[in-house]
Amino acid sequence: MRKERPRHESQVLRLALAGGLPALAACALLLWRSRIDSRIAIPVVVVLAAVWLGFAFAVRGRVVRSLQTVANLIGGLRESDYSVRGREIGGDDAMGDVVWEINQLTQILQEQRFGAIESAALLKAVMTKIEIAILAFDDEERVRLANRAGERLLGAPIDRLLGRTASELGIADWLTGLSAKTIQGPIAGRTGRWAVRRSVFREKGRPQQLVVVADLKLALREEERQAWQRIIRVLGHELNNSLAPIRSIAGSLQTLIARDERPDDWLDDVQRGLSVIGSRSAGLSRFIDAYAKLTRLPPPRRTPVSIEDVIARAARIEDRTAVRVAPGPPATVSVDGDQIEQLLINLLRNAADAGANVGIEWTAADEEVVIRVTDDGPGISGTANLFVPFFTTKPGGSGIGLALSRMIADAHGGSLALENRTDGVTGAVAVLTLPRNASG
């Protein structure tokens, strides 16, 4: 570019000179032909030539100055100096238009830069304050970024973290395997449980990994408190439901027996009352049994289990409706077959309670197997209480099916969710995810 500029300038000069040359030549010729005294003719030609050269250089200078102004303005932009503005000339002026356009562009870039600076400052403030560790690794698994929580988690200041590899820091497993997992064990000497989430982003075309690590202890404590509150609410409700009628019937029977004159059928009343008390006590004891079942779930005894077989076994048990088993890929998972079968029986029973068309299907990826149980019932209206132990909307329901099923899924390092179908059919779908390896 720089080499071409003199050529452009000399071209302008040459054109300007060429524009005046015919007139000068004509003047010189006329003077020579009209035989004017050379003492007059020569100075006239010299003056004309000087004027001609002067204007030609002025044209060149004008063009060069305009281009230099534009080059300076654009150079300022290239250097990210947005404070420089060209002097605007109003009216119908080509150079004025160029300067105006460049000024507008400068203004826009300046605003965008302020916006970017503000967003970056906000992001930095959020990253510093947030209690969740955020780390970025480059394609060689070297730390490129860590926020305060990340420094605390790894027990070292940022300058001692930058450039070190994940394996040097003892966290290489964060960058492999499932993109969302729970890690237990000491990190930089601290024991605890952490939720690790990983995602990939690209910078200058090269893959980088962003890792977000949350300390589960705090979240779990809050969850635990809420779980206790819910259990106590349900227990209180259930105990009151049984104890209130027992107390009231016992009171009535006492009054009846204390009366001097009892009606003829008083023995029938006593018998009815005692049988209500008996059935309420039996209900209470069933409830306590169910509670015990929940709290005494043994740890899974894992063996390799064919998903196809366990689904077929569970589907055969549901006798109220024919369960449609969609064919899926053969897959073996390391799980407690009895527990997973019990879990599927619970889901299929709920689906059969809800609708007539019950289906079960599965997919298998390298890392996990996903089983879906669908029905065409009314679907679910709220998800907040479904997995709360003893929550039931069914007369005679126990409310432990889903709670127990989720505990089994969790014990296997998997997850269980119940949601409305999104395939255009009204109904619910229970989604069970089980990891293929034996973690959790």
Which residues in this chain contact ligand ADP in the complex, by CB under 6 A?
346, 350-351, 354, 375, 377, 380, 386, 391-394, 397-403, 418, 428
Q: What is the DSSP letter of 302?
A: -
DSSP state of 214: E
Shortest Cβ 331–ligand ADP spacing (Å): 24
Task: In whole angstroms, give the CA distance from residue 426 to residue 413.
Answer: 30
When the beta carbons of 130 and 380 are compared against ligand ADP, the nearer one is: 380
Q: How far apart (Å, rounded) are the C-alpha atoms in residues 331 and 371?
A: 11
- Decide whether 401 or 435 has the Cβ nearer to ligand ADP: 401
Question: To the nearest whole angstrom, how small is the minimum distance from the Cβ of residue 405 to ligand ADP?
Answer: 7
Residue with smaller CB distance to ligand ADP, 102 or 403: 403
- Rounded to the nearest whole angstrom, what is the least distance from the CB of residue 385 to ligand ADP in the complex? 8
Which residue lies nearer to ligand ADP by CB, 20 or 379?
379
Q: Which is nearer to ligand ADP, 217 or 286 (CB)?
A: 286
Alpha-helical (H) ranges within 34-90 are 38-78
Cα dihedral sign for 417, 422, 428, 431? Answer: negative
Q: How far is the CB of 378 from ligand ADP (least distance, A)?
A: 6
Shortest distance, position 124 Cβ to ligand ADP, whole Å: 45
Cβ contacts of 76 within 8 Å, gap of 6 or more: 82, 83, 84, 106
**CA 201 to centroid of chain Cα atoms:** 13
For 231-292, the DSSP string reads HHHHHHHHHHHHHHHHHHHHHHHHHHHH-SS--TTHHHHHHHHHHHHHHHHHHHHHHHHHHH
When the beta carbons of 315 and 386 are compared against ligand ADP, the nearer one is 386
Q: Residue 94 or 384: which CB sits closer to ligand ADP?
A: 384
Angle separating helix axes 38-78 and 4-33, nearest 10 degrees: 160
| C-alpha distances in Å from residue 376, one per residue of 131, 320, 430, 431 | 43, 15, 12, 15
**Residue 402 CB, nearest approach to ligand ADP (Å):** 3
Q: Which residue pairs from 144-150 have beta carbons closer than 8 angstroms and sit at least 24 positions apart in sequence?
A: 144/208, 150/213
Least distance between ligand ADP and beta carbon 355 (Å): 8
**What does the block give as tokens for 374?**
């669908």
Rounded to a whole number of angstroms, the minimum distance from the CB of residue 344 to ligand ADP is 12
CA torsion 181→182→184→186, rounded to 10°? 70
φ, ψ at 352 (rounded to 5°) = -70, -30
Burial (0-12, 13-18, 19+ Cβ within 10 Å), 60: buried
Closest to ligand ADP by CB, 85 vs 394, is: 394
- Comparison of 92 and 319: residue with beta carbon closer to ligand ADP: 319
Smallest distance, ligand ADP to C-beta of residue 407, A = 11
Q: In whole angstroms, what separates CA 150 from the centre of its chain?
A: 19
Nearer to ligand ADP by Cβ, of 56 and 351: the residue is 351
Q: In whole angstroms, how close is the CB of 217 to ligand ADP at the nearest point?
A: 28
Closest residue to ligand ADP in the complex (CB): 401
Order of strands across the sheet that contains 359-364: 324-325, 359-364, 368-374, 428-435, 415-420
